[in-house]
Structure 1
Amino acid sequence: MENTTNFQPYRCVLTGGTAEITEKKSRFIATVRRTESEEEAVSFIEEMKKKYWDASHNCSAFVIGRRGQLTRCSDDGEPSGTAGRPMLEVLLGEGICDAAVVVTRYFGGTLLGTGGLVRAYGAAVKAGLEASQTATMRYGSRIRIGTDYSDIGRIQYLLGQKGYPQENAEYTERVALETVVPAPEEERLIKELTEATGARAELEVVDRYYFVDKD
């Protein structure tokens, strides 16, 4: 089995969302999008600036890479450190990777002060994330199981007890199906399946990749 030390779980945005909050008559519109490269993030930010061309500010932040290797943020004319940095800190605090957020502000006529701006921009990002669909991604193994009909019940029961999926089932002279498990649990599952079927089941790891954790 390959070394999975570097394949740690991470959170990402599956589907972006938009949310709006109001603070002392200023409107803060947060738009979140999944972006997997700096180019995608920059393009998204420019898209939002064109969409909200008449806004007072379009502040932004993004995190690229499953370990957050690349981060950027912009105050877009707000006092230094009052917008982009608080926005980025929310993304990092939530463990979100491969995502960008733009918070558009329409000034309401009342100054918020530096503390008020920090709170408002941070709150807007949190609202934007709540309006988005996020998930934990885990590195896992896809295992193909071949078995006689006499053992399929034991296998299905074992997978069901552990909450593992049962996919791509084929019923011919024998039964074949696939399951996906977190990589650290691969060896244990193979051992348990082998014991449960008296080593009659054919077990093969056909792929390893990141999958959406349904918990």
Structure 2
Amino acid sequence: MTVTYTLLEACTYQEDVRKSRFLGWAAPVASIDEAMAFFAAHSVVDATHNCWAYRIGPLYRFNDDGEPGGTAGRPILQAIEGQGFDNVAVLVVRWFGGVKLGAGGLVRAYSACAANTLRQGKRQEVIPAMQVRCRCLYTDLARVQARLAQAGVRTLDEQFDAEGVQLRLDVPLAVASELAVAVADISRGQALWQPLTEQARK
């Protein structure tokens, strides 16, 4: 299985290419709105170009911001994908220095700046996970929670009532089926185990 990474925090990198200055910014993002807000916050109004790309699961988009088509945004996206990143946005700001780089030179410059920016960041593996609703009796709760903790499950929400407890869980996909069986065994078939969504987990 291919390992995917995201960034732990925003990072930056700067380099000069034939008198043009390139400034890269990269950050983890969980949604398109977050990505667009990141670009808006870090774009430089008086720069010549603010080019960007993001990938969030199957969603991606890129923008050349006035550079010749395919010479800026797409190379930035390819740098993201080439290093195995997901849930990441990258902005490359360019100040034109008077020397034209040509299409090939632009592709190399934007690609290199984006890649070097990502290399500055601290990366974390993205673990495929799913959300599960689990309901069990109070008498089984301690054993269920111990088994879940052993498997690296995170509890996102707890709701208690007279009958027992309902948990919303973040469960690594690799152990989801095994845990469903384990919880059924612990509760003698009385617990509810209901998958809700599948998502990437940091």
The verdict on a shared fold, with TM-score over 0.5 as the criterion, is yes
Q: Could you tell me whether the CA contact under 8 Å between 2:51 and 2:65 is conserved in 1?
A: yes
Q: Percent identity?
A: 26
| Deviation digits for residues 125-165 of structure 1 (CA, Å, limit 9, x no counterpart) | 2344455887737451322231243x434323311221112
Unaligned runs of 5+ in 2: none
Corresponding residue for residue 77 of structure 1: 67
2:63 paired with 1:67: no
Measure, in 2, the Cα distance between the counterparts of 1:168 and 1:52: 41
> How far apart, in 2, do the equivalents of 1:110 and 1:191 lie?
65
Give 5+ residue unaligned stretches, structure 1: 1-8
Secondary structure at the aligned position of 2:32 is classed as coil
Which of 105, 114, 131 is matched with 2:94 structurally? 105
Give the structure 2 partner of residue 3 of structure 1: none
Letter in 2 for 1:194: A
CA distance in 1, matches of 2:152, 2:21: 44
> Aligned partners of 1:77, 1:212: CA distance in 2, in Å?
33
CA RMSD of aligned residues (A): 4.3
The Cα of 1:32 is off from its aligned counterpart by: 4.4
The equivalent of 2:50 in structure 1 is 58
Structure 1: distance between partners of 2:4 and 2:198: 10
* 211 and 13 in structure 1: CA distance in 2 versus 1, 3 angstrom threshold: farther
- CA offset at residue 114 of structure 1? 5.7
**Does 2:23 align with 1:29?**
yes
Counterpart-to-counterpart distance in 2, 1:96 and 1:113: 28
TM-score (norm 1): 0.62
Q: Report the counterpart of residue 4 of structure 1 in structure 2.
A: none
Please state how far the C-alpha of 1:210 moved relative to its aligned partner.
4.1
Distance verdict in 2 for CA 1:84–1:54, change over 3 Å: same
